[in-house]
Structure 1
Amino acid sequence: MKHDVATKALLDIDEQIDSLVKQIELLSYVNPTNIEEEKTRFFSSKYLTDPVFKYPEINFDRFKLHRALFTLPLEQIEDTTVKNLYEDIIYAYSGLIQCIQTIGDGKKFYYNCLRCFGTPTENDVENAKFILHFEEENQEEGVFKPKYTAPETEVFFKDYSKKYDFSYNIKYSDKISAIAMVLNNVKTLVLNSNHKYSENEIAVLTNHEIGVHMVTTMNGLLHPLKIFSHGFPNNEETQEGLAVFSEYMSNNLTIKRLKELAYRVIAVDSLAKGYTFSRTFRLLHNQYDLEREEAFYITVRAHRGGGFTKDYLYLTGLKKIYDYYHAGKDLSLLLTGKVSLEYANEITTLIDKGLALPSKHITDAYAENKNANKKVDFILKSLK
């Protein structure tokens, strides 16, 4: 495919950003390496002594990275829309570098996160509290019983994945705070080897992790522009919104799961109010009656690094995608890679110019709305 001078300049800049940002995977730096030891210590202190978390070593030179990003010749991109997108991208990645370089440095890390991810509005907190008023489903039923080990769960993932025309790796780890996660850059699903999975969790995770996160990973790799792989600014909100929405569409979104997303908003809000780790934990455990293990992990997610605000975006993202779908808009546009709803017009522009491709892989759950849970629908419609 022949390129004019302006297109070549864009592809060069995109290529350079690609080589620079390969080094900055925020999640691989912000997850503490000593969660379990600190949990034991925290519980035996009767929830009074804040955990002291350790983090992986940072193996890149942040000044070199900043300098290289800001000396890219963006003026060579002729199309103003595309140039503005790349300017936003550079500022977003610069913000992520600042987040990584201040992990563990309390206030500094927290302020850098605010710039990257924001913090819940009063509206978001009201939405979370509204969800918490609802009664959970009866968790005694068979589908909620923990019974499958990670290797047994892998079989279900492999079976589910036959719906898709791609392959990926599966690994186990006892060092992750989630029960499963997709590592975008190495096309790998990681299952938590300490966890026993229920049928409901397997149904949720196959749709969430493979149906969306792995689908957007695979679609992202097909474009001439690599930015679809690494991620647009604020892509977390859209990507997590899409992933939870696939749980809804496949009839696996429960009140319990919505409450988990609501507790995350409450935890991040308590961070914004200046609460310590132990105070956030006590708020969830004592005031909201959240079982202590769950309260601990939700608190870790919000307080890791010194205050990681990203967790409130799951609920805001879900509401945005729910409304987008019910307005009759095209979800496949948002599956083109690690993209953001705010840049839907830019994605269309790039596809029209032949610099991006329509989604090859489409989330299976999006084919038809199978949600039969009236209460979940009522909640999602009512969120402000």
Structure 2
Amino acid sequence: MDNVVTKTLLDIDKHIDALVKQIELLSYVNPLNIEEEKARFFSSKYLTDPVFNYPSIDFDRFKLHRKLFESDLESIEDAEISKLYEDIIYQYSGLIQCIETVGTDKKFYYNCLHCFGTPTENDVENAKFILHFEDEDKGIPKFQPKYSAAEAEVFFKNFSENYDFSYRIKHSDKISAIAMVLNNIKTLVLNTNHTYSDNEIAVLTNHEIGVHMVTTMNGLLHPLKIFSHGFPNNEETQEGLAVFAEYMSNNLTIKRLKELAYRVIAVDSLAKGYSFSRTFRLLHNQYDLDREEAFYITVRVHRGGGFTKDYLYLTGLKKVYDYYHSGKDLSLLLTGKVSLEYVDDIESLITKGLAVPAKHITDAYAENKNTNKKVDFILRSLK
């Protein structure tokens, strides 16, 4: 590309990068008092909805919106790139609106609908189809809880020796997931309230390090920072890739697929207007889900006032599974926090010298080691 054109684009990209470094939705939407509210909820016999507290917002939301939309996209002469940046600015603006309305129920929920959508009838049917299958974990030692967060950390460090990057590991009792990667500070967070099984360690190392940390590190290598902060709808693709790494490494089980299906059911109940306690009772009483598991799935979906993102794990998995089995190149999707819908843009940016091929590649993607024929049958059958 022309040097003047490239400089204009890089200046705009740098301007956006400086603004959106603070937008890590997961840093704001995880309640600070999950365990206290769990005890209160259980003692109320599942009738009194939890009242969650959230981290305070440490940036000027209005100023951030205004400066984002001041980006001079008209000066980008390449129409494809200009359109990509327009999509991205709307995406970041939507995430700011989510953050500024965390804890305000309907406002947050509607902002999440705008950013993440909600399950279709097909998605709900797919979830119910998965729930017909029997778990395969009854009495098998690898599914038994045995490792503290500190003990689990050792497994993550050993697994990460396969990769040429370093990151921080933190422990927290303030997250609803059992582990998560915070992209903007290159940190893996492990939940100190959880006791990990061998299967969970295998799942999480492939999921969190093999994909989420890999795409975090690859995203930092491009001239353009949008690869690091995220393309529109990147959550669906990123979670799909992460669960697909579980599949390729032969760690995706019926039990895990059912967990993703329960999340779809929970988000659907949110869309139907169910309260926290009613969603919980749906999972615990109607679907016979263990009360601890039912509680944490309900927290994930109802946190912030209604967080719809969780249904995307299953839709993303199906899309990545089909993409792989059609013979397409997964490495393009590992170049950063990117989306399936923008594969052509990624290829075009690499060709123009504005992006680079993925340096770090998910170990699990080297060879399909899945031997679970039921899992394959389910993934092929999803609509």
Q: The TM-score by the shorter chain falls in which range? A: over 0.9
1:175 aligns with 174
Give, in whole Å, the separation in 2 of the partners of 1:18 and 1:256.
Answer: 39
Give, in whole Å, the separation in 2 of the partners of 1:138 and 1:275.
Answer: 31
Give, in whole Å, the separation in 1 of the partners of 2:4 and 2:145.
Answer: 58
Query: Which stretch of structure 1 is more off in the superposition, 157-166 or 289-298?
Result: 157-166
How many residues align? The count is 383
Q: Percent identity?
A: 83
Three-state SS of the structure 2 residue aligned to 1:206 is helix
Give, in whole Å, the separation in 2 of the partners of 1:31 and 1:197.
Answer: 20
TM-score normalised to the size of structure 1?
0.98
2:215 aligns with 216
Q: Which runs of 5+ in 1 are unaligned?
A: none
Give, in whole Å, the separation in 1 of the partners of 2:148 and 2:105.
Answer: 36
The CA RMSD measured in Å over matched residues stands at 1.0
1:4 partner amino acid = N
Give, in whole Å, the separation in 2 of the partners of 1:143 and 1:9.
Answer: 54
1:320 aligns with 319
**Contact 2:149/2:192 (<8 A) preserved:** yes
Map residues 16-165 of structure 1 onto 2, 5 A cutoff. 16-165=15-164
Structure 1, residues 104-156: CA drift from partner, whole Å, max 9, x if none?
11111111110000000000000000000000003311111111122221221
Three-state SS of the structure 2 residue aligned to 1:65 is helix
Give, in whole Å, the separation in 2 of the partners of 1:56 and 1:275.
Answer: 25
Map residues 250-261 of structure 1 onto 2, 5 A cutoff. 250-261=249-260
2:356 partner amino acid = L
Three-state SS of the structure 2 residue aligned to 1:32 is coil
**Offset of 1:190 from its aligned partner?**
1.2
Give, in whole Å, the separation in 1 of the partners of 2:267 and 2:198.
Answer: 29
Give, in whole Å, the separation in 2 of the partners of 1:297 and 1:150.
Answer: 17
**Offset of 1:365 from its aligned partner?**
0.3
Flag as ranges the 4+ runs of structure 1 deviating above 6 A: none
Three-state SS of the structure 2 residue aligned to 1:116 is helix
Give, in whole Å, the separation in 1 of the partners of 2:311 and 2:270.
Answer: 11
Give, in whole Å, the separation in 1 of the partners of 2:309 and 2:321.
Answer: 19
Give, in whole Å, the separation in 2 of the partners of 1:134 and 1:316.
Answer: 19
Three-state SS of the structure 2 residue aligned to 1:171 is strand
**Offset of 1:3 from its aligned partner?**
6.0
**Contact 2:137/2:255 (<8 A) preserved:** no
2:301 aligns with 302
1:235 aligns with 234
Give, in whole Å, the separation in 1 of the partners of 2:192 and 2:39.
Answer: 19
1:195 aligns with 194
Give, in whole Å, the separation in 1 of the partners of 2:28 and 2:137.
Answer: 37
**Offset of 1:48 from its aligned partner?**
0.8
1:192 partner amino acid = N
